[in-house]
Chains A and B, each alone.
Chain A
């Protein structure tokens, strides 16, 4: 019997472009904003006695009322030249600057005018005119610039991005005053209409990366770009990976540092952070503090972070492999100590480790979700009290607790939380493989991990660059060794910048 497969066809998107068609009239605008409590209108007498009033409409909360009063209403009420009976003439004078407001546009399309209203403009309708005047009077209420919450700064600028896109671009402009700093804007999100800016230094950033980023932004067709994931997952080359493929920072100085290196930045309205593309493994292991620290200290800390990558990834897996399959690898005295400590523990090593890893994740998640003081209490109770009690109750052995705790703490040295999260996921996988096949499993898992990382690219740059991707040894060394800054004459080759030289 023939089998008929009914293929599901997604319904067409309900939104059409332009969203609103038809003539731009006050009635039509009022119709669109029916049942919108924040939509307001104000009629103003202008043009002398008997002349029909002009109407101002705006959305409360989106506009600064003082601006409307001072820059629009006051001139209309006081400027005698606007008292003429010729309404066409008055309209022209207002469009040409009779009103004090800095930005004024003449709108003829309904869609455009509606979008203006939502963006904090106010519309001035003249009876008998086919269009309207649109004045930018948006409120500038926003969170003030404050120190970054997620990136500790010891020695450096303490400003951080906020939710306002224009504030963020101004922060970038203050750090990079070069006219070559370009900011290209696109609107993303059918419902959110989020402004997203592509930021780069012309002549330094790779034009192909800029073009590719713009192309990907154009292709985003979502309802709302409200969360970071709404953009990130559309901008990366590959979503089937736990590893972050774009780097984000809250710090404008770090963002600008990335732009000066030749990366391309992205700022989105409503997100207090900036993205940098392309991103590689080495960029996630570099802390913003590195350039502020002594180069020897920074190099040592970078090497330590690389070591911590291995520790956080492999320590639980190696513990399982050695305690279950390769006991000869354990130094004799340590093996005897482990045997004595584990004598009354009822669980197999692999379950001990997995229980502790899961408990560690639960504690971390609980600590993050709760308010900070409560979160700290949970961490203390969970980490110290429960851990100690579990050891004393012979539920887990001290060696397992130590191994898992060291692996967890080593993960916290990652400057990127997303990289740390990816390593945590792979840590579980490697621990499972170790429980199945010992060191063979760990080696196989490591091979798969390297293969996976080698298969990823970020905007045309191999993710493992400069450790892979045909880079020279000197480039590889720069990823690990932070040379004194006067010695670093060239920008990184992997970024394919048109201008590699960064200093004499």
Chain B
């Protein structure tokens, strides 16, 4: 018995020598890392034939201390993203690998037609990741943005810098494909950060948010409205507000925290309104020599100014929802989560344009960084 088992094991070991490749089709197919072109940014645009896909590898180290080389940019048009990506494999000796795509850009034209197809590709493709950041290119095409950025450094490097500095940029935070797909699955509406291309410098710059209704781009949230979105979502890592006060004139407040609760208002079983209760915290960053937070008058003035600006921003964000008839920020879900036992009532009475939305802001100035005051 032992001898038979040994013979069988030996025969199994000898199988690779048979030359029958099909015998081992069940095994995964290996590729050497150095024979791959790792694509890190992918842009998709609408085209007559279907879609145009542009990918960029980002600036790559040449090895041997030669420094970074120019990014590899590949572009193909096809009936689908998969077809375009597949045809890219023929553009060089290396295997084009999409497993490291970290930024997924959609041109405005394609976004207005609908982002579902592109996001579905990310969901189904075995190499792409749902954690990929999603961006909408405002007023242009994703491919053109990637190509223009490649003339400077690369879209990958620029977007990675944006992500790294997200805490320092108040008007646009990043969202992943997974985040947007979850929203779309929930109620068909969502939002994604927008970018514009500075044609002269070849730089991609944040431009607020694109608003998606039923999976298609319907508008943009920019400036104060974009900051209103950040307040709604609690993304205010480093927002700086300049306010005018009667006591010290112009002062700068650094917003350090915000939390917005969405509460439904009922009359009986009928949903009649929404309350947005926002608590925003800020520190006094600049205010001149006379600005001491121990002065209750100044403190009150600053908190009032902060509350007014935050109120304005939130209202602008909510107005966009009403104007464009979309629940881009999942207000319905958030209201439902605050009183889950009345979820059905909320669902039944949800019509944002008919609801009375009130915004309440509670502003706190926490500290002033004034060493001469002996603390804080």
Contacts and interface: CB of A to CB of B under 8 A. Distances in A.
Assign chain B's interface to a size class. 20 to 34
Chain B CB within 10 A, most for which of A325, A330, A339: A339
Contact of B32 (A324, A337, A436): A324
A339 B100 contact: no
B186 interface: no
A344 interface: yes
B27 A437 contact: yes
9 contacts: A324-B30, A325-B29, A327-B99, A335-B33, A340-B62, A343-B34, A345-B34, A437-B27, A438-B28
A164 interface: no
B27 A344 contact: no
Interface of A: 323-325, 327-328, 330, 332, 335-345, 348-349, 435-438, 440
Contact of B97 (A324, A327, A440): A327
B38 A342 contact: no
B295 to A, nearest CB: 50
Interface in B26-50: 27-34, 36, 38, 40
B63 A335 contact: no
Given A332-B100, A438-B28, A324 B33 contact: yes
A437 B28 contact: yes
Interface of B: 27-34, 36, 38, 40, 58, 60-64, 97, 99-100, 102, 127, 129
B297 to A, nearest CB: 52
B95 to A, nearest CB: 10
Given A323-B33, A325-B30, 8 more contacts: A324-B30, A328-B97, A332-B40, A332-B102, A339-B34, A339-B61, A340-B62, A349-B33
B39 to A, nearest CB: 11
Nearest to A399: B33
Nearest to A320: B30
A162 to B, nearest CB: 42
Nearest 10 pairs between A and B by C-beta?
Answer: A328-B99, A340-B61, A340-B63, A324-B30, A343-B63, A342-B34, A332-B100, A323-B33, A438-B28, A437-B27
A340 B100 contact: no
Given A332-B102, A335-B100, A340-B61, A440 B33 contact: no
B345 to A, nearest CB: 45
Contacts of A342: 32-34
Contacts of A332: 38, 40, 100, 102
Contacts of B60: 336, 339-340
Contacts of A336: 38, 58, 60-61
Contact of A338 (B30, B31, B33): B33
A437 B29 CA distance: 8
Chain A CB within 10 A, most for which of B60, B99, B127: B99
A335 B38 contact: yes
B122 to A, nearest CB: 13
A43 to B, nearest CB: 62
Chain B CB within 10 A, most for which of A327, A344, A345, A348: A327
Chain B CB within 10 A, most for which of A340, A341, A436: A340
A183 to B, nearest CB: 40
A341 B63 contact: yes
A325 B126 CA distance: 13
A342 B129 CA distance: 25
Contacts of B102: 332
Contacts of A341: 63
B68 to A, nearest CB: 10
